[in-house]
Amino acid sequence: MRLTLHAKVSLTVALIIIAVSAISTALFISTYNRSKYQGRVIRGSALSYALAKSAEEGLLKEDLNLIKKAAAIIQAPDVMQIQVFSNVWDPIDAYPFERLQDAPDPRALLHYRSANDAISFPVTGGYDFYEPILFRPDGDTSGFPIGYVRLLLSSASIKQDIRNIITVNVAVTALVAFAAIVLINILMGRLVIKPVMALHRSVALFQEGNLDPHSLPAALGEGEIADLSREFRHLLVTVRDREQQLTDSDQRIRSLFERVEHGIFRIDEHGTIVERNGRFRDLFGDASGLCDILIGERPATDCLRRASAEKGLHIEDRAVGRGGAELHVSLSLYPRSDASGQVSGFDGYLIDVTEKKRLEERLIRSQKLEAVGTLAGGMAHDFNNLLTAILGYSSILLKSLSEGDPLFKPASIIHNAAKRGAEFGKKILTITRKEKLQTRPVQVNELVNSSMELLLRSMPKNIDIAVHLDEHLPLTNGDPAQIQQVIINLAVNARDAMPDGGKMVIETAVIGASANGQAAGDPDPFIRLSVSDAGAGIDTETQTRIFDPFYTTKDVGKGTGLGLYIVQSVVNKHGGYINLYSEPGQGTRFNVYLPVTKTSAGEILNAPEDLKGTGTILVIDDEADVRELCRDILTPLGYTVLLSESGPVGINLYRERKDDIQLVILDMVMPKMGGTEVFHALRNIDPAVRILLYSGYSNKNFAGIDELLRMGALGFMQKPFTNVDLAVMVKKAFSSAGPGAARSTS
């Protein structure tokens, strides 16, 4: 049973009063008992002396009725027993007489062997007095014992007095205690108990959260209690403010814990996850342990040992994410120690670096492709220089030979082989993205129809081709040859996906810009070219790599892995995009989106019909065959052609004959001094110089062609070129209002 403070104070006061009363009573009884004992000793000594005097006379007269003469003593209420003994302790008389044979106390016998004075002993229920009966002959003051008197006095009256004293003290103590309790209850109840109980109730309410410390009165009670209550109120206000601060801090930390983009977690010493934030749950769901999500080459428990030994751990590892997806994560782990210094768990966080890894892989792949592209571009440049001479001179031979001439067939074979070589060079430049687009407004439907003539010859009979073309399809600005290459590559890819036959569907349509995921309402529409097959489909992993160069799922010797990469490159260069939809067992559909052009077909510029002209042309090229070809093509058309095998020679020649030279044909890639340097040198000599550029490259960023065109170059021509291509470009250069338009061309 739990006592209240009020009851405890009352009980304490009562116990104190009782203890004080008991101590004082004990001290009083002890003092009273000593006083009574001393009185008894005095009385007993006096009575025993009187009895000894009375017995002395009787003994001397040989009167054995000794005690009767001391009737007054016998009748005393506290006299319990009287005995008279001889000097050898033989009993002579007694009161009551039946106590005659009671033996004296051994202590008395021992005492009187060497002494003759009176002696007394406390015994049970009283006091035992012994007095010698002395005979003094001839007035001898000391005398000698002729007998002994024993007097036994009762102590019952003393005990009764003590009991009465105790009874009175108990009563008085009870009365005082009761009065004190009442008084204390009145005073302490008002001055102490009531304020303290109020404080107690306030503490209980505060613990339950049902008390606002600011609602407490400024002070309770008086004096020290009031000071205590004020301090208590201040303490409660401080505690509540600290609790609010801790709550706010915890909420901020919890909010940060949940909103941070990293997966934060806590684990015990065995790796079991005990706490996680929302990002961690998004990544790994309800995974129970760190070892359940890490799938690196080393056991996941190694990271716990390393974190403990190294006081922290930072690693990148693979992990299995929510739904079984494989993730790349950056893991940081820090050990948590208990009071004894032992590791009790770990705190850590995870960063999903999967996309970062993918970007790094793409960057590495892009760098590799850039290196391959640079190499392939260089090879294509040299290849185009060779083809330029072969294609040009074969054209000259064909013009000078008739079909019946024995050399006509070899020349035709050489010319056709050179044209195929030129197309192959274009493919190489397409891979390296260095081919210049020969764009014009084209009708995709016409390209599909022309492609069908080639496709029908190469398709097996078990493949059915269905063509659905939009009759109102608008034009797109593009290179017809490259767009046709896209159509053929997609159709061949669909054919290879159906080795056992099936249906291929080629469709065209015009759609809004929302098809590529852009916001609806974009006014620019797109042309969609779709090629579908009913093959086995493409799994998700393969779809992520399907457009990579040299990646193929075909058997060795049946595919180079460049088809879809070329398709994507061509579409991207045309400002479009491509996507695919495929499911295993359900076939595949490739969708190509090309922007619609606002230029009509009637706006296409026609090449000039009359290719003859006059004027002096300086050709600067390090390839002798190409230089000679230019002279052999242009001289029959009426032009005077000067040749230079390098940049410095060409600059000197132009400086000497700048008044005669109306046009410079400049190769962009030459040893020692490139086309750009030659261009600027010629412009320094004559700001009005007319310059036509050509190169086996076409990447404007690689050779700086675009910048030179902005600075006044009249045009650019891609190697290899035909005789007509060169003649048309020269004709346009002479007729254009370039820097040298004011100069005479005669």
Asked if residue 744 belongs to a domain, the reply is no
Tokens of 74: 């016998």
280-323 tens-digit pLDDT: 888 887 777 776 677 664 565 677 777 777 777 777 778 877 77
Residues 538 and 423 grouped into a single domain:
no
Average pLDDT over residues 621-633: 88
Residues 692 and 555 grouped into a single domain:
no
Rounded to whole angstroms, the maximal C-alpha distance in the chain is: 209
Instruction: Decide if pLDDT at 520 tops 60.
Output: no
Asked if residue 327 belongs to a domain, the reply is yes
- Strand ranges (DSSP E) for 31-168? 79-86, 91-95, 119-123, 126-135, 144-154
Average pLDDT over residues 663-672: 89
Among 374, 406, 428, residue at a domain's last position: 428
The number of domains in the chain is 6
424-480 tens-digit pLDDT: 666 565 555 545 566 788 899 998 988 887 677 778 888 888 999 998 899 998 888
Tokens of 737: 């209002």
Name which residue leads in pLDDT, 364 or 279.
Answer: 279
155-202 tens-digit pLDDT: 777 777 777 878 887 888 788 877 877 777 777 666 666 676 666 677
Name which residue leads in pLDDT, 184 or 332.
Answer: 332
Residues 621 and 556 grouped into a single domain:
no
Q: Which pLDDT value is given to residue 656?
A: 92
Give, in order, the Cα–Cα distances in Å from 583 to each of 216, 466, 588.
74, 21, 7
Instruction: Decide if pLDDT at 740 tops 60.
Output: no
d(CA 457, CA 427): 22
Among 553, 572, 602, residue at a domain's last position: 602
Instruction: Decide if pLDDT at 703 tops 70.
Output: no
DSSP string, 406-442: TTHHHHHHHHHHHHHHHHHHHHHHHHHT-PPP--EEE
Side-chain half-sphere of 612: how many Cα atoms within 13 Å? 3
Q: Which pLDDT value is given to residue 665?
A: 94
Single out the residue of 348, 352, 320, 353 nearest to residue 336, CA to CA: 348
Residues 535 and 646 grouped into a single domain:
no
Name which residue leads in pLDDT, 344 or 521.
Answer: 344
Asked if residue 170 belongs to a domain, the reply is no
Cβ neighbours of residue 563 under 8 Å, at least 6 residues apart? 489, 492, 493
Name which residue leads in pLDDT, 609 or 511.
Answer: 511
Instruction: Decide if pLDDT at 528 tops 90.
Output: yes
d(CA 403, CA 409): 8
Asked if residue 75 belongs to a domain, the reply is yes
Instruction: Decide if pLDDT at 37 tops 50.
Output: yes
Outline where 297-353 has alpha helix (H): 301-310
d(CA 70, CA 50): 8
Please tell me which of 237-241, 406-410, 520-524, 616-620 the model is most confident about, judged by mean pLDDT: 616-620
pTM of the model: 0.38
Tokens of 639: 């032009």
d(CA 81, CA 153): 7
d(CA 51, CA 67): 8
Give, in order, the Cα–Cα distances in Å from 172 to each of 35, 159, 166.
23, 20, 10
Residues 289 and 390 grouped into a single domain:
no
Average pLDDT over residues 229-246: 74
Q: Which pLDDT value is given to residue 591?
A: 92
Average pLDDT over residues 102-125: 87
Please tell me which of 326-340, 356-370, 507-521, 540-554 the model is most confident about, judged by mean pLDDT: 326-340
Domain ranges, residue 493: 437-602
Side-chain half-sphere of 681: how many Cα atoms within 13 Å? 17
């040009």: which residue's tokens?
Answer: 392
Asked if residue 693 belongs to a domain, the reply is yes
Chain centroid to CA 447: 56
Average pLDDT over residues 89-106: 86
Residues 84 and 59 grouped into a single domain:
yes
- Strand ranges (DSSP E) for 405-472? 440-442, 463-468
- pLDDT class of 2 with cuts at 50, 70, 90: low
What's the CATH number where 418 sits? Answer: 1.10.287.130
Single out the residue of 415, 355, 418, 414 nearest to residue 383, CA to CA: 418
Residues 134 and 25 grouped into a single domain:
yes
State the helix-helix crossing angle for 444-458 and 480-496, rounded to 10 degrees. 40
Vertex 737 angle, CA 735 and 739, to 5°: 120
Asked if residue 743 belongs to a domain, the reply is no
Residues 483 and 619 grouped into a single domain:
no
Q: Which pLDDT value is given to residue 238?
A: 79
Q: Which pLDDT value is given to residue 579?
A: 87
651-664 tens-digit pLDDT: 999 999 989 999 99
Cβ neighbours of residue 486 under 8 Å, at least 6 residues apart? 529, 566, 567, 570, 571, 592
Average pLDDT over residues 576-599: 85
Residues 145 and 133 grouped into a single domain:
yes
What's the CATH number where 139 sits? Answer: 3.30.450.20
Alpha-carbon torsion (32, 34, 36, 39), positive or negative: negative
d(CA 300, CA 317): 10
487-502 tens-digit pLDDT: 988 888 888 888 888 8
d(CA 142, CA 595): 160
Single out the residue of 451, 256, 270 nearest to residue 344, CA to CA: 270
Asked if residue 675 belongs to a domain, the reply is yes
Instruction: Decide if pLDDT at 350 tops 60.
Output: yes
Q: What is the mean pLDDT of the chain?
A: 77
Contact status, residue 131 vs residue 48, Cβ threshold 8 Å: yes
Instruction: Decide if pLDDT at 738 tops 60.
Output: no
Q: Which pLDDT value is given to residue 370?
A: 62
Residues 287 and 377 grouped into a single domain:
no
